[in-house]
Amino acid sequence: MRYLIIVAAALAFQACGTVSKQTYPSGIRYDLSCPCLPKRGSVLSGLTYDPAYLWSARSLNVCFDNGTQEQQAWVRDAVQKTWGLASKLEVTWNRCESDIHEVHIRFSDHLAIDNIGVQLNKVSPGLTLGTFRNDERDLRMQAVYGFGFVMGFTSGQDRGDSTCGRAQRFSAYSVRTLGPPDPNSAMNECKAPVYNGGILSDGDIAGAQRVYGEPETCECP
């Protein structure tokens, strides 16, 4: 029994202890040994959302309508290591074969986002990602930004106090805010690098956890 306890403790330390990182060709860094993002419950979030379009289910199935295996792998990896770890909303990836799949991702020549959250339920195409640059970094950043809309969040310029200067993308929605503006949010189009380089800010993580709950995994450093 003592041996089992020691082994379990060692495995837990290995999973959430020292975090190794890898830099992809895009320059975006991901944690590979840590199975979760830090909990940010006490951090203010600049995310905006319309509660009518949040997912009530706690498991969100996603599939691809088209695209190469490489493009699909980039998008799946970028989403899974950001929004896929940020909250209790579980993201799974399945083939588009039946009506159980809730969100369809399509590749086209430009990024297109017309709906958010549950409006994308069983709609094809749901989220359209642009491949006009045929660039891994660009596609990963689009994936993280676009999947924020899949989660039910809107862009930073949809805030009433936004100083972005761009037209509101979802002005017809009853947008609520979780805190002050966050210039480092992945949902921010108004600051370079755009979409925060495809990286969730602490505020993004805090907002996802506030809306969907904290993930039931160990807390990483």
d(CA 40, CA 38): 6
Q: Report how far residue 100's alpha carbon sits from residue 115's, in angstroms, rounded to the nearest whole number.
A: 19
pLDDT of residue 17: 36
CA 212 – CA 100 distance, rounded (Å): 21
Residue 24: left if φ>0, alpha if ψ -120 to 50, beta else—which one?
beta
Among 148, 110, 140, CA closest to 26: 140
Among 3.40.390.10, 1.10.3720.10, 3.50.50.60, 3.30.70.120, name the CATH number for the domain at 2-212. Answer: 3.40.390.10
Whether residue 180 is preceded by a cis peptide bond, meaning omega within 30 degrees of 0, is no
- 113 burial (CB, 10 Å; 0-12 / 13-18 / 19+) is buried
Give the model's pLDDT for residue 180.
Answer: 82
Residuewise pLDDT in 10s, the chain (221 residues): 433 333 333 333 333 333 333 333 334 444 444 555 666 666 778 888 889 999 998 888 999 999 999 999 999 999 999 999 999 999 999 887 765 658 999 999 888 888 899 999 988 889 999 988 878 999 999 999 999 999 999 877 666 666 665 555 655 566 777 888 888 889 887 777 788 889 999 989 999 999 999 887 555 54
Q: What angle do CA 20, 105, 28 make, to 5 degrees?
A: 25
User: With contact defined as beta carbons under 8 Å apart, do 118 and 54 qualify?
Assistant: yes
What's the maximum distance between 2 C-alpha atoms anywhere in the chain?
63
CB under 8 Å to 101, separation ≥6 — which residues? Answer: 61, 62, 63, 94, 95, 122
Please tell me the predicted confidence (pLDDT) of residue 132: 82
Task: Give whole-number Cα distances, 121 to 12, 54, 74, 75, 135, in Å.
Answer: 36, 11, 23, 19, 28
- The Cα 160–Cα 176 span in angstroms is 9
- Write down the domain spans for the chain: 2-212
